[in-house]
Amino acid sequence: KMAEKQEEPSNTQNGEPDNAEEGEEKKKKKLKREDLPPFEIVTGERLPAIFFKFQFRNVEYSSGRNKTFLCYVLETQGKESVTSRGYLEDEHAAAHAEMAFFNTILPKCESSLRYNITWYVSSSPCVTCADRITETLKKNKNLRLTIMVGRLFMWEEPEMQAALKKMKSAGCKLRIMKPQDFEYVWQNFVEQEEGEEAKSFVPWEDIQENFQYYEEKLAEIL
């Protein structure tokens, strides 16, 4: 099993089931995915259900879940309010989705506008991204950011705890996703297969316990 994992890192990362008898078409598609340049940021309307089910699971040990999926709702308040939504994922870990959001979705904040941003992220940011979030919020007082996370990333590390505290003091609201939040993401950001009635969200069995576990940890840190 290990050898198989090393050969096909992209498969295990994305939580796709390994299927030996892939059609030729699928093989071609897969090759294309792996040929992406390292700084490619994948953005899309809705993320595939298979990614959601794997990456967003609020498990305690997130083995193989080393990509970040970030779903965002961006509300810009000026003369008229405009709301946009979408998702980002980091490709080959070259640029994290959090950075990509500030570089591509919100490269400049107009000082005359107010921005209310909510992120639904598979796991909390790494230290570098947390620092970037803190700096951005300090620089742009017209920016409000709420981050809903499925899991806490490396929360035992003192450096990580310090970075999360700084985010909080810069005004970032950090919350652990409740079962209802996962359902919201499922309904609003996940592809529903064509021709089927929208499948309702099926919570995994330990979703509530895991939420409580992470919520306690976050309360201790902050």
70, β-bridge pairs: 88, 121
DSSP class of residue 47 equals B
Least reliable range by pLDDT among 84-93, 125-134, 159-168, 175-184: 84-93
Over residues 14-23, the mean pLDDT reads 44
205-214 burial string, b = 16+ CB within 10 Å, else e?
eebeebbebb
Beta strands in 90-200 (DSSP E): 114-123, 143-151, 173-176
Four-point Cα dihedral 215, 139, 90, 49, nearest 10: 50
Query: What pTM did the predictor assign?
Result: 0.74
Task: Count other C-beta atoms under 10 Å from residue 17's C-beta.
Answer: 8
Instruction: Express each pLDDT in 22-44 by its tens digit.
Output: 454 544 444 444 443 444 445 55
**34 included as an active-site residue:** no
CATH class of the structural domain 60-191+202-221: alpha beta
The per-residue pLDDT of the chain, averaged, comes to: 77
Q: For tokens 């089927």, name the residue.
A: 196
Indicate the pLDDT class of residue 16, thresholds 50, 70 and 90: very low
φ, ψ (nearest 5 deg) of residue 44: -165, 170
Catalytic residue among 21, 24, 89, 98: 98
Spell out the domain ranges in the chain.
60-191+202-221
Over residues 147-158, the mean pLDDT reads 92
DSSP class of residue 96 equals -
Q: For tokens 């201790």, name the residue.
A: 220
